[in-house]
Amino acid sequence: MGKKVGCIGCGVMGGALMSAVCKVENTEVHISDVDLSKAEQFAASNKAVAEKNNKNVLQNSEYVFLAVKPNYLASVLDEICAVLSKDELNKKVFVSIAAGIRISTIEEKLGKNAKIIRVMPNTPAIVSEGMIALAPNESVSGDEISTVEDLLAKAGSVQVVPEHLMDGITAVSGSGPAYGYLFVEALADAAVKFGMPRKQAVVFAAQTLKGAASMVLETGKHPGQLKDEVCSPAGTTIEAVRVLEEKGFRAAVISAATAAFEKSVQLSNK
């Protein structure tokens, strides 16, 4: 591919995505952080160059990932405008992972012709099992979108979506791992109640959830069909499903995701 990639910010998520990018053949990565030691530590563990300032990242990159916290993004965008000429700026692709910041907000700083892709990853990207949504603006070409998909492919599954879905994606895949962890913890608690050691219980619960998710993705069957296939007539599983339905399991999950969605909309409108 031979792409030059930069990243401003080396936190947990920025680091996870750049670790994936560093695995792409013939890709050169330059990274900076307000804490230089973080960038240096990352560079030492990956095939990357730690830069002392954001200017060096910008000057050495075609694709620039903006991996700073949302409240710092405005100052970084101001710096970009100060460092790059308008012509230089419009040749680069800016990939923002700042949660809740709309493309229009970034365009107000960089201009309507700037190439911007808004990204919503999730924490399983750390172990290459992330769900990553990309929402490009109209200035980004199809080839550039494909390049970013390829750059992030080793972090997990990548899907291109229209930006208006981002609040829903935040609620489902952005916050979703926490729902999964809660379910794993509860199932492990049950195993402990039945006499299993805690460490072993967590493995049983986590692998069960991982396996169920893999069955959905790999078989292409509807989750309801797969559930039915586990539920033998008058068996143990249908009894458990009956209790979950009585307790409002589905409604609770939908209500929780809706609360996350509404909060995301609220934050995006600030």
Residue-wise pLDDT for 120-148, tens only, equals 999 999 999 999 999 999 999 999 999 99
3-state secondary structure of 27: coil
Query: pLDDT confidence of 269, banded at 50, 70, 90?
Result: confident
Domain containing residue 85: CATH number: 3.40.50.720
| Rounded-to-5 percentages of helix, strand, coil across the chain | 60, 15, 25
pTM: 0.92
- Domain's final residue, options 166, 200, 231: 166
Q: Measured between alpha carbons, how far is residue 45 from residues 9, 38, 222 in Å?
A: 16, 11, 41
**Co-location of 187 and 137 in the same domain:** no
Determine the structural domain holding residue 216 and report its residue range. 174-268
- Domain's final residue, options 111, 145, 166: 166
**Co-location of 16 and 147 in the same domain:** yes
Model pLDDT for residues 217-249, shown as the tens digit of each residue: 999 999 999 999 999 999 999 999 999 999 999
Burial class (CB within 10 angstroms; exposed 0-12, middle 13-18, buried 19+) of 1: exposed
pLDDT recorded at residue 270: 74
Query: pLDDT confidence of 268, banded at 50, 70, 90?
Result: confident
Q: Of 57, 121, 65, which is closest to residue 93 (Cα–Cα)?
A: 65
Q: What is the largest CA-CA distance in the chain?
A: 71
Model pLDDT for residues 73-116, shown as the tens digit of each residue: 999 999 999 999 999 999 999 999 999 999 999 999 999 999 99
As a whole-number percent, the residues of the chain with pLDDT over 90 amount to 97
